[in-house]
Amino acid sequence: MHNIIKEKLISLFEKQTLEQVGSISELPSSGSYRQYFRLRNNNRSVLGAYNNDAKENNAFITFSKHFKYKGLPVPEIFAKDEENHIYLLEDLGDTTLFSYLSALKQHEENPDEIIKIYKKIIDFLPKFQVNASTDLDYSVCYPRANFDKQSMLWDLNYFKYYFLKLAKISFDEQKLEDDFQSFSDFLLKTDCNFFLYRDFQSRNIMLKHEQPYFIDYQGGRKGALQYDIASLLYDAKADLSQKTRNILFDYYLDVLKKYLEIDKKEFTTYYYGYVLIRIMQALGAYGFRGFYEKKEHFLQSIPYALDNLTWLLENTEIPLKIPTLMNVLHKISQSEMLRSYAKNEAVLKVSITSFAYKNGIPNDDSGNGGGFVFDCRALHNPGRYEEYKTLTGKDKEVISFLKKEPEMYEFLNHAYRLIDITVENYVKRKFANLMVNFGCTGGQHRSVFCANMLADHLKNKFDIKIEVYHRELEK
């Protein structure tokens, strides 16, 4: 299926541009099931997207064209093939707001620089919410046209089933459900007739030449203004200080006043309610991806979300009685088990994979992207000889063959030096993940041997977590 998608995207690119594709590479996966590829030649670079959900594709493409028409910085859609669930869109590069913030934090953090870039982003938010919403085709919204009571209850139950239950937090189900009903009724009392971006957070904002561009609004629908600014300022891993949040919230209100009249006190009361439901929605997502799908890096976001929740519980008050929900929130904010995932983040995990090039370079499921890919195909191949064809790089006969090759040690020593420098740096900076890939023709001999040799080298030198995966051998 993977190769078929590539072939379809190449065909769409060549039909659209009348040019040949020079290269196609898959981008690291994120929190969705969509797959993205970068297609390049000497003249251009574009992204190809595959998503089997036709309704979601239609929402994204329709919204993109509308926002582009309104002058908003979103990716241009170049071509689409609805039958094969693919489309081509503008390549905005690899720098997200999240990666920009992470880079700033590697050096001495500069609050003024953070505030400056956030203000650029906030300048556009009311343009999406108010300006572009008046003649938007809400009939394409997916899965619903409004962030209404049913949508809210979906999010609250997502939080209940994928976070509370999987984290083994006890609660009275009927009383919690009663509080969900009361809480959603309260949130719907504010004006809910604006465009709600839905996932307005640091991984969905690209920076190109220090200017913001916006992606992943396919879940947009009608809703309250407070939700998106809450999503941006209480984005867990962005980890903004409360002082910075306050400055930016006031700035948002000043910008918003250029578009409509608002009562600051009333707006703020509902704002903290939307902060709370957004935090619960995020925790539900971390639980689903982390506890249920076993994607460890999502669990590492939990302590950040709990810090936001703790501040909210201690410093704000929502004007309604929801005692069971509040009791549950206090339990999770004080959970040592849930906060322990922050400790896991400080231990670097190096994922080492052997693979065959014909099946593509492995995806990085850590969510970070990057790492190393070493091409072993220039090395002497034991697979050419009959006696080794059924063996692998784990077998002593192949190990003995490759250890006798001087070029192998020269190759590995170069790789060790590069990787050692990176590991030392990542440990100091408390990074969580590094991926190293070794590829060869069949993913059977040379790449397997190199992956195992690197694992032994790192085990002897560093106190880190190491995972080795031989993709072609373990199919």
Is beta strand 211-214 parallel, antiparallel or unpaired with respect to 205-208? antiparallel
What letter would DSSP give residue 362? P
| Residue 196 and residue 145 share a domain | yes
| Residue 141 and residue 11 share a domain | no
Confidence (pLDDT) at 263: 96
Strand partners, 435: 351
Residue carrying the six token digits 């703020």: 268
Q: How many domains does the chain have?
A: 3
pTM: 0.75
Q: Which residues contact 203 (CB under 8 A, 6 or more apart)?
A: 30, 31, 96, 97, 98
Q: Is 145 helix (H, G, I), strand (E, B) or coil?
A: coil
| Residue 449 and residue 430 share a domain | yes
| Residue 331 and residue 436 share a domain | no
- Smallest CA-to-CA distance from 100 within 209, 218, 226, 252 is with 209
Confidence (pLDDT) at 334: 94
Residue pLDDT tens, the chain, 475 long: 678 999 999 999 999 999 999 999 887 666 678 999 999 999 999 999 999 999 999 999 999 999 999 999 999 999 999 999 999 999 999 889 988 887 777 555 578 899 999 999 999 999 999 999 989 999 999 999 999 999 999 999 999 999 999 999 999 999 999 999 999 999 999 999 999 999 999 999 999 988 999 999 999 999 999 999 999 999 998 989 999 999 999 999 999 999 999 999 999 999 999 999 999 999 999 999 999 988 877 888 999 999 999 999 999 999 999 999 999 999 999 999 999 887 655 578 899 999 999 999 988 777 666 689 999 999 999 999 999 999 999 999 999 999 988 899 899 999 999 999 999 888 888 788 899 999 999 999 999 999 999 998 998 888 788 999 999 998 7
CA-atom Rg of the chain in angstroms = 25
| Residue 428 and residue 291 share a domain | no
Host domain of residue 101:
97-343
| Residue 208 and residue 261 share a domain | yes
> Within a domain: residue 421?
yes
Rounded to the nearest 5 degrees, what angle is found at the Cα of 188, between the Cα atoms of 183 and 190?
120
What letter would DSSP give residue 379? S
Q: To which H or E segment does residue 466 belong?
A: strand 465-470
* Distance in angstroms (rounded) separating the CA atoms of residues 147 and 259: 22
| Residue 311 and residue 436 share a domain | no
> Within a domain: residue 475?
no
286 alpha-carbon distance from chain centroid: 11
Spell out where 325-416 has E strands: 349-356, 372-375
Residue 335 class from Cβ within 10 Å (0-12 exposed, 13-18 middle, 19+ buried)? middle
